[in-house]
């Protein structure tokens, strides 16, 4: 409803009803119940899934068996059902408490959501500190909606963002991964990143990256991440494919690069240092934000190929056929643009993709293993015959 009123195309439609998940499953045979914290019904129609939620109600007592809280007030289970009015008042933000009644095609507003929508204000329902404590992910949602919609955050809802970031440390890493995808793959990654840094929330998602960004090295770290986010946003706006692996590789590159340099200083080869550094950084990162193995494998390939791309030479032609070449090449461009590696190197790889096969062989033959152009040897002068 929110996106329709803003003139945007909704990504999906959620259905809310007074029927319980079990009732929905009895009506639709192609229904599957999911979730423990919030019980939901997923009704399958081919490849489409319609998410059906039952109206949530208010908790009269904290001993209610359907509600379970952690020690810090975070809601672990919440399956108390109620009326549409109660459900509206339990939503996170007023602009998300708008309902479209298919019975009479009207907009149902119990929380002044329309007023906030028109004013461009993001406001939590209820006490902000309590609502963030119930579900710390609401802090990330506040940042995401503010960045996505261009809204300002209500001052009373903004203040706790500076003070409550530690609550995110108790959120399951798998859930944070899903939120990271929503934050950075929606076309407003740069704005979201800036707001997360502003509220000191980014360090709770990527602690090593945040720490590395506080130590500039000729401006490389901050420039590199920002360029990566701009690149992701541009691809989303152009309706080009984006992969979480590339974005995550960008986020973790600086910690990996710094660790790799430390290992090289101890005598390890470039290849071994890169492998070890990648494993260490990813190993620590997944304890905070889980990253599926299918993405970590791609991240490692992108990182490991950077050294190979720096070599050029005759092996370059074979490298062009690598399934991860394009992602690694784009990654190299970002490094060159941020000043981390030679811009001429990136231009060489750009050119060799565009020329004929014959010209590729010439370019590859003109460079040695280290990537430098070979100098033509002058023919030796034979001594004059006596």
Instruction: With a cut of 60, say whether residue 337 has pLDDT above it.
Output: yes
pLDDT tens-digit readout, 82-120: 899 988 888 899 999 999 988 898 999 999 999 999 999
Cβ-Cβ contacts under 8 Å for 283 (sequence gap 6 or more): none
Q: What average pLDDT does this structure show over 199-211?
A: 96
Q: What average pLDDT does this structure show over 150-170?
A: 96
What are the structural domain ranges in the chain?
A: 197-372
pLDDT tens-digit readout, 38-71: 789 999 988 888 999 999 887 654 444 445 555 5
- pLDDT of 386 reads 40
Higher per-residue pLDDT: 295 or 35? 295
Rounded to 5 degrees, what are φ and ψ at 17? -150, 165
Dihedral sign (CA 276, 200, 131, 98): negative
- pLDDT of 316 reads 76
- Residue 78: which pLDDT band, with cuts at 50, 70 and 90? low
- pLDDT of 62 reads 45
- Residue 164: which pLDDT band, with cuts at 50, 70 and 90? very high
- Residue 36: which pLDDT band, with cuts at 50, 70 and 90? confident
- pLDDT of 135 reads 94
Does the pTM exceed 0.85? no
% the chain with pLDDT above 70: 87
- pLDDT of 64 reads 47
% the chain with pLDDT above 90: 66
Higher per-residue pLDDT: 313 or 217? 313
Instruction: With a cut of 90, say whether residue 312 has pLDDT above it.
Output: no
Instruction: With a cut of 50, say whether residue 385 has pLDDT above it.
Output: no
Q: What average pLDDT does this structure show over 189-196?
A: 97
Catalytic residues: 12, 14, 92
What is the dotted CATH code of the domain comprising 197-372? 1.10.3090.10
Instruction: With a cut of 80, say whether residue 161 has pLDDT above it.
Output: yes
- Residue 377: which pLDDT band, with cuts at 50, 70 and 90? very low
Q: Of the ranges 11-25, 99-113, 189-203, 342-356, which is most confident?
A: 189-203
- Residue 221: which pLDDT band, with cuts at 50, 70 and 90? low
Q: How far apart are CA 237 and CA 173, in angstroms?
A: 28
Of 8-22, 136-150, 332-346, minimum mean pLDDT range: 8-22
Q: What average pLDDT does this structure show over 251-271?
A: 95
Q: What average pLDDT does this structure show over 347-376?
A: 76
């Amino acid at each position: 409803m929110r996106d329709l009123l803003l003139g945007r195309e909704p990504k999906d439609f959620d259905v809310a009803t007074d029927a319980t998940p079990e009732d929905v499953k009895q009506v639709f045979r192609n229904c599957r119940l999911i979730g423990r914290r919030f019980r939901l019904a997923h009704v399958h129609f081919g490849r489409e899934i319609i998410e059906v939620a039952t109206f949530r109600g208010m908790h009269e007592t904290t001993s209610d068996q359907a509600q379970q809280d952690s020690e810090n007030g975070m809601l672990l289970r919440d399956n108390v059902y109620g009326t549409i009015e109660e459900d509206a008042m339990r939503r996170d933000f007023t602009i998300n408490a708008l309902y479209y009644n298919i019975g009479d095609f009207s907009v149902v507003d119990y929380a002044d959501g329309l007023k906030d929508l028109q004013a461009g204000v993001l406001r939590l329902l209820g006490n902000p500190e309590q609502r963030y404590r119930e579900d710390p992910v609401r802090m990330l949602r506040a940042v995401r909606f503010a960045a996505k919609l261009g809204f300002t955050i209500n001052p009373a809802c903004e203040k706790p963002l500076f003070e409550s970031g530690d609550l995110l440390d108790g959120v399951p890493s798998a859930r944070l991964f899903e939120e990271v995808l929503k934050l950075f793959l929606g076309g407003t990654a740069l704005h979201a990143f800036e707001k997360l840094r502003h509220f000191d929330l980014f360090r709770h998602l990527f602690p090593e990256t945040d720490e590395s960004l506080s130590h500039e090295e000729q401006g490389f770290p901050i420039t590199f991440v920002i360029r990566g986010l701009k690149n992701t946003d541009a691809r989303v706006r152009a309706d080009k494919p984006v992969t979480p692996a590339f974005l995550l590789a960008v986020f973790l590159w600086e910690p990996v690069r710094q660790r790799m340099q430390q290992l090289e200083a101890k005598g390890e080869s470039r290849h071994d240092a890169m492998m070890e550094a990648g494993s260490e950084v990813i190993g620590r990162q997944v304890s905070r934000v889980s990253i599926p193995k299918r993405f970590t494998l791609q991240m490692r390939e992108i990182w490991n190929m950077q050294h190979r791309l720096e070599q050029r030479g005759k092996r370059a032609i074979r490298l062009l056929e690598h399934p991860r070449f394009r992602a690694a090449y784009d990654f190299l461009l970002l490094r060159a643009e941020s000043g981390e590696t030679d811009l001429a190197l990136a231009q060489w790889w750009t050119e060799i993709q565009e020329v004929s096969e014959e010209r590729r062989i010439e370019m590859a033959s003109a460079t040695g293993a280290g990537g430098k152009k070979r100098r033509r040897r002058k023919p030796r002068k034979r001594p004059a015959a006596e």
